[in-house]
Amino acid sequence: MNIAFYKYQGTGNDFVMIDNRTNTFPKSNTNIISNLCDRHFGIGADGVILIENDTEFDFKMIYFNADGSQTFCGNGGRCAVAFAKKLKIIDLKTNFIAFDGAHFAKIENEIISLKMIDVEEIKVHENSVFTYTGTQHHVELVDDLDLFPVYEEGKKIRNSYKDPGSNVNFVEQINTTTFRVRTYEKGVENETLACGTGVTAVAIAMHKIKKTTSTLISLPVEGGNLEVSFTEENGVYKNVFLKGPAKAVYNGNITL
């Protein structure tokens, strides 16, 4: 089977994008997903995103981690919006459905603002915060993020959580509104250059533990800069928006 694909990236988080509105892609075969994401023997990506038709929304986004597991991905969601515009499914605004529910997004000057789910349950521990922003996230403040062993420590913490585990975000505070983030992602099982649900979790966690009073947070990641805004009322975080670029890298065909 010959499949047309596009490669997109959002602050270095990269994805194989496939138009599956004809439902021809063998999405039940996780080996194919893993092979597409393999950086040595496949296209190479953090995940695979399928765009499909939906009866109630503009489109359906299906996201697979590199190991074939399904979840939601914030940067993937922004790339899905850019890809849907490329396919002329949408123009500058959209409502789509994904693994964690419905999402609204808009495109302004090539920057995509994606509305994330509301966040209510936030578990504050002595040295970390845990929450769900479309997938599971552990957030931990550290000193000297440049030298911190993200892979080694991230792997340990990721596996300390019960199945399906947790993404792990290590955070260094830069100032009252800026937090630098490095993330170990489950499903990829490595550090990635960015994680959209991760920086969302960080922004909310830092506000929750009063490291910031701002509701607009800047989040430098290894692949660029992201921004998260929200409103908070009685401990519930709503109107959560993840904002950043999403760009096409190349396209081609691959034989499965």
Tell me the domain boundaries of the chain. 2-114+246-255, 122-244
- Which is catalytic among the residues 195, 217, 242, 246? 195
The three-point CA angle 161-244-82 to 5° equals 100
Q: Measure the CA–CA gap between 32 and 25, rounded to whole angstroms.
A: 10
- Which H helix or E strand runs over 199? helix 196-208
Question: Which pTM was predicted?
Answer: 0.96
- Which is catalytic among the residues 18, 48, 73, 82? 73
Residues of the chain with pLDDT under 50: none
- Which H helix or E strand runs over 154? helix 150-160
Matching fold, domains 2-114+246-255 and 122-244: yes
- Confidence at residue 246, expressed as pLDDT on a 0 to 100 scale: 98
Instruction: Report the residue count for the chain.
Output: 256
What are the strands, taking DSSP E only, across 20-75? 47-52, 60-65, 70-71
Give yes or no: 73 in active site.
yes
How many other β-carbons are positioned within 10 Å of the β-carbon of residue 43?
18
Structure-token pair, residue 50? 């399928």
For the domain made up of 2-114+246-255, give the CATH fold: Diaminopimelate Epimerase; Chain A, domain 1 (3.10.310)
